[in-house]
Structure 1
């Protein structure tokens, strides 16, 4: 494995907050040639988070005018898994129909960006979620493609690992901000000891549907995709000790 990537992954593993992991990712991607970086992840357009190094004035305009609904790269990450390219230099030279998507892309070029490569990202424990990282560069598209021919695999692996670490840390922070109730912890504890919902209900002298409700609530608070994932997070965070 490339030493640059090995060093980056080692430092990323030591990150204790999502913000810290993001800062490490920015530093690495800038070394790889990115002028600015955009990272987004979530389930839908009204439920996603975004990290970016683009200028404040651009993000204020992006938010105020709800450009997310016309962002080609964001929509690509939501619907596809293949790498996407955006050649802003070529787009400027074209005569187009004035579509909202093209207008957003052209306005983005005002930040000094000439080309963009976007990497859709997924996590095995978050089936309904999307993620993506865009490296925006001031170099031409041929120059960007040359860069990717040399470092594309390293960049993609770094983006995938960053996505996993940032999302894990965000879920941990979310779990710590919304502590589980005593009954939710108790249900998870017995689940960890091998009991199913029916046996947990018998042991706690409550209805099975109540057990499922407690486990479902714990799952939501932890931001987990399944009850098994919620159980693993509760153990990892020290919420329960089987």
Structure 2
């Protein structure tokens, strides 16, 4: 699997593409660059319409739709419940439907390992960027430790570009966040507690609360979790 990745080149090509077909070409490049079996981007726009592109076989895509696997897929369920990337090994595969789904996925060469990045955008938009591969747990752990940040960045770039193709989309206008607001939301998004964030930034928890509330107001968010999701989807913070 990949030991060195030219991330800048992928992002430059992604930023320059002007068609959905161009995104399909880039996702194949992601597979080649990271030396993984598959990569997939699944996008649900603000109207509830589904789009996807990636390297899974057409047989598996049709099988997934035919069986309505979206209802039992632990990856989809897990990512709806989280803001952080999801390693498939950490999901609950114990139910009978989940085990049957996994067996079917393996039969269609999806891979026994996977890493999925949930992305939330404006007006209810939801997306997943996933890479999957066949390898042992130790190899996969080393891969995700080395490349997780690159994959998160690519996932958010894909989503930002996909939003450009959404019909009748009007651009969002948000007030810029201050450096301290960005730092606070980034650390919270990484799983730090408020006490840990305050300690890391060498500020009081009261001052931290002021930064968070200010960021929340600028982002039009109803709570801190919503503010983090908005900041991630707009590319204002990256984890």
Q: 1:97/1:13 Cα in 2 relative to 1: closer, same or farther (>3 Å)?
A: closer
Q: Does 1:102 align with 2:94?
A: no
TM-score by length of 2: 0.62
Could you tell me which residue of structure 2 aligns to residue 15 of structure 1? 17
Cα offset, 1:45, TM superposition: 11
TM-score by length of 1: 0.61
Instruction: Compare CA radii of gyration and give the structure with the larger one.
Output: 1
Where structure 2 has 5 or more consecutive residues not aligned to the other structure, the ranges are 175-239
Q: 1:43/1:69 Cα in 2 relative to 1: closer, same or farther (>3 Å)?
A: farther
Distance 2:143 2:5 in 1: 18
Cα offset, 1:142, TM superposition: 2.1
The match for 1:119 among 117, 120, 132 is 117
Where structure 1 has 5 or more consecutive residues not aligned to the other structure, the ranges are 175-221, 230-242
Could you tell me which residue of structure 1 aligns to residue 64 of structure 2? 62
Could you tell me which residue of structure 2 aligns to residue 148 of structure 1? 144
**Contact 2:24–2:54 (Cα < 8 Å) also in 1:** no
**Contact 2:27–2:54 (Cα < 8 Å) also in 1:** no
Distance 1:110 1:44 in 2: 33
Q: 1:57/1:139 Cα in 2 relative to 1: closer, same or farther (>3 Å)?
A: same
Tell me the alpha carbon deviations over residues 111-134 of structure 1, each in whole angstroms, 9 at most, x when there is no partner. 3311111111133xx141211111
Could you tell me which residue of structure 2 aligns to residue 183 of structure 1? none
Could you tell me which residue of structure 1 aligns to residue 6 of structure 2? 4
Cα offset, 1:140, TM superposition: 2.0
Query: RMSD over aligned Cα, in angstroms?
Result: 2.8
